[in-house]
Structure 1
Amino acid sequence: MDLIRDIINQLYERVLSFIQTSSPATLQLSGILGLALALIGYFQLRGGNAVPPARPPTLSRPERSQQTQSQPSSSKPESSISTVQNIRVTRDSPIARTVQSRLQGVRRVTISCPNVILQPGQILETAALHPEAAEIVKEMCYMRLEVYLISMVSDDIGEALISGALESEGVSSASTQFAEGMVPSHRVLFCSTLEGKVAIVRQLEPDLHVDSLDSTVEGLQRFIPALWQVVQSGNDTSVGSNAYKEGGATAANVQRGPSLSAFFGLQ
């Protein structure tokens, strides 16, 4: 404080001496400057004794995790809006219970339609389905399994006949959108050669493949976990007997049966 007073006194003496020796024009400007200096000194003098105002306390913002925890438990989590397609439907019917029990742990199935879903015969003017096989495929779809239907055809006419038969029986839909108990149209596949069918199945990597041809089973036996082969009448048709042997060793992942329904004990 004493230092500030000394500075103000020195300034005052200098200003006073300047006023006494200066011309009137200079005094007008000097008077303004002097008044400003006096005011500055006065406020500095008062400011030295003043107590600085207390700083208001700052409230820390709660962390994001705390805000999340403080939300009421009644709010719906995002997981509750999950897609319906990931939920398996429980249907109370003999065939539904059998299919669900037999296919526990299976997520993806590929089926070769000829002689499995489609009745034997040349696809020239019409394509007929096995009713029991069609119902089994529907139950697979109700379980939300990824079901792919594969057919080997020689032209567009055969493709159209098979697609029409599957849609008319309610096995597949004409849309790529999900439909209850139906195979979407983009999972109904066609090929023109046996090699093409084997390549499709290997690319899809199903848990189970169902076919009727020895050559297809032979080509897939080393790559697919489980293979079911529907054999023609007159062969060994007991379910569980092996269809293919490689190097004299029985293929444990291959089962045979007279029809698709036989694998579920429905025949």
Structure 2
Amino acid sequence: MADYSKEEFLQLIKRFGVYVTVKISNLLHGLDLRSIGALAGLAVAIVFTWRLLRSPSGPQRRRPKRPAVAPSSSGMSTLPNTNVVASRVCSSSEDSRAENVIDEFFLPVKPTLGQIVRQRLSEGRKVTCRLVGVILEESTPEELQKQATVRSSVLEVLLEITKFCDLYLLERVLDDESEKKVLLALEDAGVFTSSGLVKDKVLFCSTENGRTSFVRQLEPDWHIDTNPEIVTQLARFIKYQLHISPVKPERTASNVFSSPSLEQFFGSL
């Protein structure tokens, strides 16, 4: 039984080597040096294991001969044909099993949300973002006079942005009470404790032009806003912009992107 398992494993290794050769020939063109080094290390490990298993580990036991099978009444033996069919089925099953194992090995690794955020922001290091309609459930400054509610679905994305970006949150408010409501909502949501954001980077103004002025002074790599007029005005001055809108707007410039929400832009929904 042990010898049979060893031979079976050797056959699996051989099929693995053939299949890996095909996979590598298809993938090698798009790999970087680090990936190529990893595949080379894997190949060396496979060859080493194969040679180790091939080396004799002691006297081989002689298998007992199978008893001869008496011919059937028709003068033909049916058992050999059955053995051939079973052998082919077994070989096919082993090939399929080996291919499934290798296919799983070569499956692309799903990127993390942090990697997606860095990629979508093109490694931008400073981001300005409007609060209303993006971070908050409320859609107008008038609603902030009653309450301020942080959207729970945006918190994970917000955390990843603050890990490697200098983030500033901007909003127009109509009174001091609205400002207090916004800061309290952000604090209750854990924004100031779970991320690198501090209260000093939450800026308030009394007009839409004031928010535009903030953005131009901060000179971010990215600005995120819901107001199409502000997005249009800043297109000449800001490297990239994200326009949050429930309806896909007409693209005004090549450096302006659009999405129904901040989470959907980063594919976290």
Of 131-140 and 146-155, more deviation after overlay is shown by 131-140
Is the contact between residue 211 and residue 228 of structure 1 (CA under 8 Å) also seen in structure 2?
A: yes
Which structure has the highest helix share of the two?
2
Is the contact between residue 210 and residue 228 of structure 1 (CA under 8 Å) also seen in structure 2?
A: yes
The residue type paired with residue 134 of structure 1 is L
| 1:105 correspondence with 2:119 | no
The sequence identity of aligned pairs, in percent, is: 34
1:119 to 129, 137, 142: 137
2:170 to 131, 134, 150: 150
- State the SS of the aligned residue for 1:203: helix
Is the contact between residue 170 and residue 182 of structure 1 (CA under 8 Å) also seen in structure 2?
A: no
- State the SS of the aligned residue for 2:191: coil
1:207 to 221, 232, 236: 221
The residue type paired with residue 187 of structure 2 is E
Q: CA deviation at 1:138?
A: 1.2
TM-score w.r.t. length of structure 1: 0.55
Alignment of 1:25-174 (within 5 A): 94-121=112-139, 122-143=143-164, 145-172=165-192
TM-score w.r.t. length of structure 2: 0.55
C-alpha distance 252-104 of structure 1, shift in aligned 2 (>3 A): closer
| 1:262 correspondence with 2:257 | no
Distance 1:196 1:219 in 2: 13
Q: CA deviation at 1:133?
A: 1.7
2:248 to 236, 239, 260: 236
| 1:194 correspondence with 2:208 | yes
Q: CA deviation at 1:223?
A: 0.4
Distance 1:190 1:183 in 2: 15
2:196 to 159, 164, 182: 182
Q: CA deviation at 1:93?
A: 8.2
Where has structure 1 moved over 3 Å in runs of 4 or more?
A: none
Q: Which runs of 5+ in 2 are unaligned?
A: 1-109
Distance 1:254 1:101 in 2: 16
Q: CA deviation at 1:124?
A: 2.6
Distance 1:172 1:107 in 2: 19
Task: Determine which structure has more spread, i.e. the larger CA radius of gyration.
Answer: 1
Q: CA deviation at 1:264?
A: 0.7
Is the contact between residue 115 and residue 212 of structure 1 (CA under 8 Å) also seen in structure 2?
A: yes
